[in-house]
Amino acid sequence: MAEIISKARKLEGDKVELEVEVPADEVRAQVDHTLKHMASDVRIPGFRKGKIPKAVLVSRFGKEMIFSQTLKDALPGWYDRALTQAGVKPIDSPELDFDELGGQDEPYSFKATVPVAPRPQLGKYTGIEVEKEVVEVKDEEVEEPIDRLRKRAGKIEKVEGRPAASGDFVVIDFEGFVDDEPLEGGSSKDYMLELGTGAFIPGFEDQIAGMKEGQSKKLKLTFPEDYQPQELAGKDAVFDVTVKEIKQRVLPELTDELVADNSEFETVEELRKDIRSRMEQAREAGAENLFREAALKKAVETVEVEIPPAMIESRVEDLKREFTAALQGSGVTLEQYSEQAGVTLEQIEDNFRQQAGNLVKEDLMLEAIAENESLTVGDDEVEEEIRKQAERRGIDADKLVEQTRKAGREEFVRENLLKRKALDFIVEKAVPVLRKQAVTEEGKPEIITP
């Protein structure tokens, strides 16, 4: 395919003028392509479909009509190739200035005035002070998964001579009534319930605690106001309950042998060390993500830019499409979600529009920083990223690389990597103000300087 010649000239008002020249051999190839399609689409007596000579088509329809159809078919592709060659990224439809084709043996020229993204006025994006949480894992947090291991290895044994208490397992018969009528689905026999889990409505387990084996009792309860099904919400109920048996979980002693039999580790110390390490890694990753988000937010706050409505609307459509697809994956329509969430479609749209404005501003800032700092992304980095995506999705990496190239989406991957590099630059230059979590006497989290 012949190379198109494209020259870009910056205009006022965030526009670029493209001057495009299409070589004669490319024009000729496009005219031949149009004639070939016409030969397969039209019917002329005396000729088989698809076998009509070009001269006959020209004689029948005329050069002007054929050239006009060629231009209609080819101009969008020529415009796209000109954009790629000039490195221009439009944000809306262009204003095209073109004449009809003059012939198939001479080059063809046209102009396009292309709206492009505005360049933001960057503020401070290096040396930003950003709070960062100091990761801490307490001993009691490490013991929680160890206690779960002991519970899994524990035994349930019958209790003799004492009433039921929170943490016990009780085997019960029960029958529920609402307005003196049996509650549908509200009865069972030999049901084993762990007290303290909140498996039943509030008050049910609390009133069983203290009962002894063989004891019967009427539990007077009220269904919560948000209970489902709704017809029971706020209703008073009575449950006839008989405790038939009380059991408790007996935990084994924490030993190296227990750990070896129930985990991949040989000793208690190895298990504790692994649990602490994994907790620290997870929290450090979480703290780093929050740090990155905070650094990005602070940098964006210093940016000044007037975002064209076309960019906002384009991103709104992207967000809506992604959200709708996610809902459809759960078998829910946007209208159903609107009704269930108690929000109008207009409110959802407004939320998308607010998100879109923030995302576009972030993108413009990151692209400008990448240009300012001469950040680049090589072809090898693009391929590596595609292969990582394939690994995450569990598909063949070579196949995904080939599909991405054929679909012309390599530049999309490159742009995302470049924005990631720009964010990495902001984060690397940010000044972390270390903070750690504490808890007030009221039990609320508080950030304090270490």
3-state DSSP of the chain: CCCCEEEEEEECCCEEEEEEEECHHHHHHHHHHHHHHHHHHCCCCCCCCCCCCHHHHHHHHCHHHHHHHHHHHHHHHHHHHHHHHHCCCECCCCEEEECCCCCCCCCEEEEEEEEECCCCECCCCCCCEEEEECCCCCHHHHHHHHHHHHHHHCEEEECCCCCCCCCCEEEEEEEEEECCEEEEEEEEEEEEEECCCCCCCCCHHHHHCCCCCCCEEEEEEECCCCCCCHHHCCCEEEEEEEEEEEEEEECCCCCHHHHHHHCCCCCHHHHHHHHHHHHHHHHHHHHHHHHHHHHHHHHHHCCECCCCHHHHHHHHHHHHHHHHHHHHHCCCCHHHHHHHHCCCHHHHHHHHHHHHHHHHHHHHHHHHHHHHCCCCCCHHHHHHHHHHHHHHHCCCHHHHHHHHHHCCCHHHHHHHHHHHHHHHHHHHHCEEEEEEEEECCCCCEEEECC
What confidence score (pLDDT) does residue 57 get?
A: 60
What confidence score (pLDDT) does residue 50 get?
A: 57
What confidence score (pLDDT) does residue 99 get?
A: 84
What confidence score (pLDDT) does residue 47 get?
A: 65
Biggest CA-to-CA distance, the chain:
109
What confidence score (pLDDT) does residue 65 get?
A: 80
Q: Domain extents for the chain?
A: 5-115, 155-250, 281-448
What confidence score (pLDDT) does residue 43 get?
A: 63
Q: Is 449 exposed, middle or buried (0-12, 13-18, 19+ CB in 10 A)?
A: exposed
Which pTM does this prediction carry?
0.73
Q: How far apart are CA 40 and CA 364, in angstroms?
A: 47
Determine contact, residues 247/146, Cβ cutoff 8 Å: no
Structure tokens at 65: 């009509």
Structure tokens at 213: 């084996």
What confidence score (pLDDT) does residue 45 get?
A: 64
Structure tokens at 427: 């984060």
pLDDT block averages, 10 residues each, the chain of length 450: 84 93 90 76 62 61 76 89 91 89 82 94 95 94 96 94 95 96 95 95 96 96 92 95 97 96 96 97 95 96 94 93 93 91 92 94 96 96 96 94 91 94 97 73 44
**Which backbone phi and psi does 96 adopt, to 5 degrees?**
-95, 140
Other beta carbons less than 10 A from residue 76's beta carbon: 10
What confidence score (pLDDT) does residue 56 get?
A: 60
CATH number for the domain running over 281-448: 1.10.3120.10
Q: Could you say which architecture CATH assigns to the domain 5-115?
A: 2-Layer Sandwich (3.30)
Q: Could you say which architecture CATH assigns to the domain 155-250?
A: Roll (3.10)
Q: How far apart are CA 224 and CA 256, in angstroms?
A: 46
End-to-end CA, the chain: 65
